[in-house]
Chain A
Amino acid sequence: MIPMRILLITAAACGMACAQQAAQQPIVLQNATIHSVTKGTFSGSIVIRNGLIAEVGDKVLAPMGAKIIDLGGKHITPGLIDCHTHIALVSTNEGSVSVSSMVAMRDVIDPEDPAIFRDLAGGTTTANLLHGSANAIGGLNVVIKMRWGSDADGLVMKEAKPGIKFALGENPKRAGQGGQSPFGGSAQTPRYPGTRMGVEDVIREAFVEARQYQAAWKEYETRRARGENVLPPRRNMKLEPLVEVLEGKRLVHAHCYRSDEILMLLRVAEEFGFKIATLQHALEGYKVAEEIKAHGAGVSTFSDWWSYKIEAYDAIPYNAALLTKKGVLTSLNSDDAGGADLSTRLNTEAAKTIKYGGLSEDEALALVTINPARQLGIDQYVGSIEAGKQADIVIFDKDPLSIYSKVEKVFIDGRQYFDRDEDLMSRPRREADKKGLLEKEKATEKAEAPQRRRPS
């Protein structure tokens, strides 16, 4: 395991150095089919300068000394955005408590996870790393960019709005049913809640507590402003993020399946005066599209998953299209755990909505670009090809919504982080490096073997 890791990081470091060099030089991507997502699809060019898209159009002014890349009609899309994933994380579920808002995914980012590179190779440049769904209120999320080779801090997309994971339905109930729990070993003692009623109660109890905590701080601040000598309330790391939710400073990303629990959450949020940013999965979202729209929540769902559990039995592949048609801001996500899989082909996942529900090509592509960007509060930076936005760009050899297309190059912040040709060319060298490392390891083991056998 270890030699391979070193290998990957070495390769990445080289990629970074090359990328840094290129970043100083403006780049012109010319003669491309540009899927801007927000401004239609057209033939033209893009100027990348200082990490940003400086200019887009059918004719652009190439800056002095720019590197010109002629694409011969190949396709350009914005970097794809995965609104729900669990890649690049050391752990995902703090399942011992029903409210785990004191934990943060930012603290457990694994920058060496090869899934980051694989996402890149599939054109995914930004992802929302969420806590698992073991508890009604989960941990804090973090949005990253696939800056392969960076450390954990370097991956974080600092512009993204902070958020938190909620979870409804079967998963948070499971620990309440005792016996083996898929989250965190065995739960011999059932953990409350064990029903959907209990899930509602846990959320309401938590926000009642958060309100009291918020009030205590407000009172402290008012009295202090009056010049009184008062002690501050004791800080509570569980309730602080919930107060931020109440104050609209933190987005709620809620895992849910059934229409009843979706409606329940919307009403609880309304009772406490906050908004749900995204309903994650929401496989029955289509049943309550009107209510979701009225509340103003977005939905991030799967293209065609269904029937793997009872709460997914009414899932339909028309969900994304139907929600879109009814005016709900919708995205598609991978929910990848334990490696990059769906997150490496979000483009063809999006294409399924053309077949199931008849979305237009732009609407389909929006499900994995500008829509998730809006849901994560980063649409002024990423999610479309527009002048002034960060230059997160994917070059496809063919129509990105076709299964016959593949990703050739990927830029993040104007730097090239993936090039298929380079990757192909470097494979024999990497193979040889790996072999060398394995042999070295074997030799070391042999040399150390007698010492190990010595009795201590």
Chain B
Amino acid sequence: MKQLLLAGLFAVATFAAPPEGGSFLLKNVTVHPVSGPKLDGASVLVLDGKFAEVGAKVTPPKTKIRIIDGKGLHVWPGMINSGSIVGLSEIGSIRETNDTGELGTFVPQLRPIVALNPDSEHIPVVRANGITMTALLPAGAGGGGRGGGSVQMIGGQISLAHLAGWTWEQMEVRRSAGMHLRYPAISPVSFDPMTFSVTRGNYPNSKRQHDQEIQELTSFFDDARSYWTAKKAALPVKTDLKFEAFIPVLEGKTPLIAFASHEREIREVIEFADKQQVRLVLAGVRKPGAALETIAKKKIPVILGRTQTGADEEDDPYDEPYALPAKLHTAGVKFCFATFDAEFARNLPYQASQGVPYGLPYDEALRAVTLNAAEIWGIDRDYGSIEAGKVADLVLTDGDLLEVKTDVKMVFIRGNEADLETRHTRLYKKYLARP
């Protein structure tokens, strides 16, 4: 027995195997598989962390298994926040608690997963609202971040992490699922969220800066490509971690996750990606304008930011951010959602449902925070829907997953029940009981 235990420990230490998946049988539930129509009065069988069977009748296993009667409850795939700094940033205004936005303009070698604090108070808070996975951003949506750097163009890799686990290794879903790019914009107006102030430069200066940045970006790509070519030709090259990290992007294996919000940058970055022959995912799109057609034609996926926000310009229609997802859907663009932050990461579902009264079909809203996200990140073989064979990341609710009032009752990650206690519920209980 002792030997067995030691052997087990050794295995964990050596191979960093993911935690064992749980097994249980869920009965009497309404299943929303996302990949297919809703099933009333159905059962879900989870074995070793994976969906084994879903349907009106499932074959119970011969071994003893936990049975959960979910009468009146709804089952959904766990939601995926396609961009946050959960676990990387604890308190926005305190630099020491923030690990995004490293110094340097081109830092593709950085991997945010290694800075994920498994004990961050944000993780349970986000999980408790039915979000089971997040993409971790190495730098903020507009580049920058709170580590001190403010000019990154290539800010690092984007990792995918489960929102439960003892260590970041256990939480890891993909170490490198994308490469962050802040595509330079000609933006004479900049807003500093730390000081709440807007600074206005002038167009010629912004244009000059933009052109210079594009030049730098292009030479970085050229240098990385030369490095790769030399390596392929077995020429003697000194190992360069930046260029090494960038090879999967040049190979088309890792997509470039390019932050570009307005029409001009979107157009430019699409041309740029074409020229560089790299895979492109657009992020933080807000005003695509006529570029929407190109996005659709080229089937470029989009990670939308918060729809629950104010319209950009003074003369924009008041509902423009709410109506944006419907616009993308009508154009035939595949999209998912992200909050790009830590403090509002739990409100991911409302970014999707906010689009529904403004024209987005409900099923598309639900798909955007589940299966679309999995597809865009290239993990749909294992995640994003409730289907036999996929990893059992699931959420039980007393109603519509995307509705504000709905209560999340249970969350499972890899078939293991996740704790729904948070810093918030603890303080609530403590002070509710104050005599």
Contacts and interface: CB of A to CB of B under 8 A. Distances in A.
Interface of A: 1, 4-5, 7-8, 114-115, 117-118, 121-122, 180, 182, 286-287, 289-290, 304-310, 312-314, 316-318, 322, 325, 336-341, 344-345, 348, 351-352, 354-357, 397-398, 401-406, 423, 427, 430, 434
Given A114-B314, A403-B350, A406-B357, A338 B195 contact: no
B405 A4 contact: no
Contact of B356 (A4, A317, A403): A403
Interface in B337-382: 342-344, 346-347, 350, 353-354, 356-358
A430 B314 CA distance: 13
Contact of A307 (B91, B309, B354): B91
Contacts of B194: 182
A8 B350 contact: no
Contacts of A356: 424
A210 to B, nearest CB: 30
Given A304-B346, A434-B315, 8 more contacts: A309-B93, A312-B91, A322-B428, A340-B310, A398-B357, A402-B403, A403-B357, A430-B315
B169 to A, nearest CB: 25
Contacts of A325: 432
Contacts of B315: 4, 7-8, 114, 430, 434
18 contacts: A5-B314, A289-B431, A289-B434, A307-B121, A308-B91, A308-B343, A310-B91, A312-B91, A317-B424, A318-B427, A339-B311, A348-B350, A354-B405, A355-B407, A356-B424, A401-B405, A402-B405, A403-B354
Given A182-B195, A403-B354, A404-B357, A307 B402 contact: no
Interface in B380-407: 402-407
Contacts of A313: 91, 121
**Which 8 pairs of residues, A with B, have the shortest CB-CB distance?**
A182-B195, A341-B310, A318-B428, A309-B93, A4-B315, A308-B92, A316-B424, A351-B404
B427 A316 contact: yes
A341 B403 contact: no
A121 B318 contact: yes
B27 interface: no
Contacts of A289: 431, 434
A363 to B, nearest CB: 13
Contacts of B407: 355
A352 B311 contact: no
A344 B318 contact: yes
A448 B192 CA distance: 36
Nearest to B122: A307
B196 A338 contact: yes
Interface string B395-435: 00000001111110000000000000001110110011010
A352 to B, nearest CB: 6
A7 B311 CA distance: 17
A348 B404 contact: yes
Contact of B428 (A117, A308, A316, A398): A316
A336 B309 CA distance: 11
B233 interface: no
Interface string B188-207: 00010011111000000000
Contacts of B347: 304
Contacts of A430: 315
Nearest to B346: A304
Interface of B: 90-94, 121-122, 191, 194-198, 308-311, 313-315, 317-319, 342-344, 346-347, 350, 353-354, 356-358, 402-407, 423-425, 427-428, 431-432, 434
Given A4-B315, A114-B314, A290-B434, A403 B403 contact: yes
Given A121-B318, A309-B92, A402 B404 contact: yes
B340 to A, nearest CB: 14
Given A401-B404, A403-B356, A322 B432 contact: yes
A286 B314 contact: no
B263 to A, nearest CB: 15
A8 B314 contact: yes
B405 A355 contact: yes
Given A7-B315, A402-B404, A182 B309 contact: no
A305 B428 contact: no
Q: Name which of A290, A310, A401 has the most chain B CB atoms within 10 A of its CB.
A: A310
A325 B433 CA distance: 12
B196 A337 contact: yes
B431 A287 contact: yes
B57 to A, nearest CB: 34
Contacts of B314: 1, 4-5, 8, 114
Contacts of B406: 355
B427 to A, nearest CB: 5
A8 B318 CA distance: 12
Contacts of A423: 317-318
Contacts of B122: 307
A402 B425 CA distance: 24
Contacts of B195: 180, 182
Contacts of A345: 308
A293 to B, nearest CB: 12
Nearest to A306: B343
B311 A118 contact: yes
A118 B310 contact: yes
Q: Name which of A115, A355, A357 has the most chain B CB atoms within 10 A of its CB.
A: A355
B402 A403 contact: yes
Contacts of A398: 357
B134 to A, nearest CB: 16
A307 B121 CA distance: 10
Given A121-B319, A308-B93, A401-B405, A338 B424 contact: no
A404 B405 contact: no
A46 to B, nearest CB: 23
Nearest to A357: B428
Contacts of A355: 404-407
B433 to A, nearest CB: 11
A334 B383 CA distance: 36
A121 B323 CA distance: 14
B404 A182 contact: no
A306 B424 CA distance: 10
B86 to A, nearest CB: 11
A406 B350 contact: no
Nearest to A313: B91
A403 B317 CA distance: 19
A77 B190 CA distance: 38
A309 B356 contact: no
Contacts of A182: 194-197
Contacts of B196: 182, 337-338
Contact of A286 (B91, B198, B350, B431): B431
Given A8-B314, A308-B91, A351 B405 contact: yes
Contact of B342 (A122, A307, A339, A402): A307
A118 B91 CA distance: 31
Contacts of A403: 350, 353-354, 356-357, 402-404
A348 B431 CA distance: 25
Nearest to B356: A404
Nearest to A401: B405
Contacts of A310: 91, 93-94
Nearest to B312: A339
Contacts of A1: 314
Contacts of B405: 351, 354-355, 401-402
